Amino acid sequence: MTGNDNHRTADRGAKLRDPAGSETLRHWLERNARRLAGKVFIHSIDQDKAITHGQLLQTAQKLSGYLGQAGIGANDRVVLLSNNSIEHLATYLGVMAHGATICTINVEMNAAYFEDILTGLQPRLVLYEEGAVEEGLAERTPGRWLALGDWQADGGTGLFAALEHQPGGHWHAPPTGRSDDACIYYTSGTSARPKGVVLSFGELIDNVEPIADAFGIEESDRLLDFRSYNWASAQILSGLAPLAKGASVAMARKFSRSRFFGWIRDHGATVAAGNPTTLTMLMSEAGSISGADLPTLRFITSSSAPLTVQEAKRFETRFKIPIGQGYGSSEAGWIAGSNEVSQRLGSVGKPLAYHQLRIVDAAGRALPAGEPGLVELGSDPQRAYRYVSADGSVKVHANGRFRTGDLGYLDDDGYLVITGRETDLIIRGGVNIAPIEIDGVLLQRSEVAEAATIGVPDEIYGEEVVSYVVAQPDAGIGEAALLRHCGAHLPAFKAPKRIFFAEGLPKTARGKINRNALIEVWKRQNAASP
């Protein structure tokens, strides 16, 4: 066994002895600073600056001193109102390593609800990016407000200027335990009031290394992510997982179709985050780049929305870049994942073992492999899946086991296939139809760039099947040809009765097809019809 192997064995043993709370985060930070002090942890592309593992530990310990002096400790809430930046991710990690509760709220999607959310949360401290929130909000909401400011290796502004007066080298609060609250993050809230999902340290930390292993993340990896670090998906996969593994992150503020492949090349990314929407956008970008032009890249991830086999094949055929699909929920974190070796097109990978995922029918009975049903998970009968209510109190949504609201099945090898949302089901004459199946058939045609199927009111069947498609430029395809194609590949009761062409399809803030919005489009288009 080499000296490095001895190091890894010692580190692994220390990790196993730690409780899954702030002590685990502290262990990761201290181990990385000891072994990888000069290695870049975060490179912020838009800011053109980086923070190393050693600098991150020093910053986190100084932040702990600042919070300790303010009397902020376990289960005290610290709100973070900012966009992707070194300051954002360093603060997110540092607050939890101290042992307090970090509350991340998307400053673009949730702005209309800031006052209500903050009044309910009753935070001890609000850290904000200047220019990202409206003036006067601080006077109308509780908590002490402090500008997040700018981190620099030799100083900074705002919060980071205040940290310069703090001693480094140790933590300034006792470790928290598994049941203490680690984070609260808010869903997109584009069509309803955003909900605050609460994860304890145990629930959060338990998710980190299993999903890192599912995506094959190692110390040598550099992850590229542009998704909002206000949401759990990026926080866990591209924040906590690289911290746990000693890897690196290249962070962009937003997705850029024209710059994405350049980012991968220039920053030596080995894994790049993505979703079906961004993959579709890359497909429409001119140019002939391929995986051979990006020698460091292992694969691109896809999550947040279903990716059909046809879409995946089209992308991989054009770019020669594998896709590792993943799947999760706000309440449970990441649920499944895959990498360039374990991928199976059409599947989101094998579920993380500790979730004890099952496919069940409406009565909760487990279904055999290949039979679609409801996705249910939960290994701890004591676990409470929790939300923050409007008054800031924590409410329990489910105990023990939790249904995600998604439909799917497990194949014979244990791979999970998601077939849609329970709320998206079309019920035609009492028969359930999953719209994603019809989308997939439409996407078999190379002339179709995007497709979405919905159920619309029908006097005879209750609902009838119609589809919307976005055609490829100069495709020259018409409704009749697509109807014939669907008729040849689907049973008559599933085949769409009309297909409408659109310049684009409505999507949620997370890049998912917004089928409810599409139904409203259909209603407006057919308002004058009998």
pLDDT at 487: 95
pLDDT band at 14; cut points 50, 70, 90: very low
pLDDT at 17 over 50: no
Closest CA to 449 of 473, 465, 481, 485: 473
Q: Given this model, what pLDDT does residue 4 score? A: 38
- In 3D space, the residue among 349, 350, 285 whose CA is nearest the CA of residue 318 turns out to be 285
Q: How much is the pLDDT for 2?
A: 36
φ and ψ at residue 387, rounded to 5 degrees: -135, 160
Nearest to 91 by CA among 174, 156, 12: 156
Among 207-211, 290-294, 379-383, 437-441, the least confident range: 379-383
pLDDT tens, 111-121?
A: 888 999 999 99
**pLDDT reported for residue 6:** 37
What's the helix, strand, coil split of the chain in %, to 5? Answer: 35, 25, 40
10 pLDDT more than 70:
no
Question: Which domains, from first to last, does the chain contain?
Answer: 3-351+389-402 (3.40.50.12780), 425-525 (3.30.300.30)
Structural contact between residues 385 and 397, judged by C-beta atoms closer than 8 angstroms: yes
For every residue of 211-260, DSSP letters joined together read HHHHTT--TT-EEEE-S-TTSHHHHIIIIIHHHHHT-EEEE-SS--TTTH
CA-to-CA distance for 247 and 267, rounded, in angstroms? 13
Supply 43's token pair: 């490179």
Q: Using one digit for the tens of pLDDT, what is the confidence trace for 223-253?
A: 999 999 999 999 999 999 999 999 999 999 9
Residue 7 has pLDDT above 80, yes or no: no
The DSSP call for residue 368 is P
Query: What's the pLDDT band for 529 if we cut at 50, 70, 90?
Result: low
Please name the helix (run of DSSP H) or strand (run of DSSP E) that holds residue 481, with its range, or none.
Answer: helix 479-489
* CA–CA distances in Å: residue 113 to residues 2, 133, 395: 55, 11, 19
pLDDT of residue 18: 45
pLDDT, position 390:
78
**Where does the pLDDT of residue 16 fall: very low under 50, low under 70, confident under 90, or very high at 90 and above?**
very low
pLDDT value of position 15: 37
| pTM of this structure | 0.86
The amino acid occupying position 369 is A
Which pLDDT belongs to residue 8? Answer: 34
The mean of the pLDDT values for the chain is 91
Q: What is the pLDDT of residues 298-338, one digit of tens each?
A: 999 999 888 888 889 999 999 999 999 999 998 999 999 99
pLDDT, one tens digit per residue, over 426-455 is 989 878 888 988 999 999 998 999 999 999
**Helices and strands of the chain, counted as H and E runs:** 16, 28
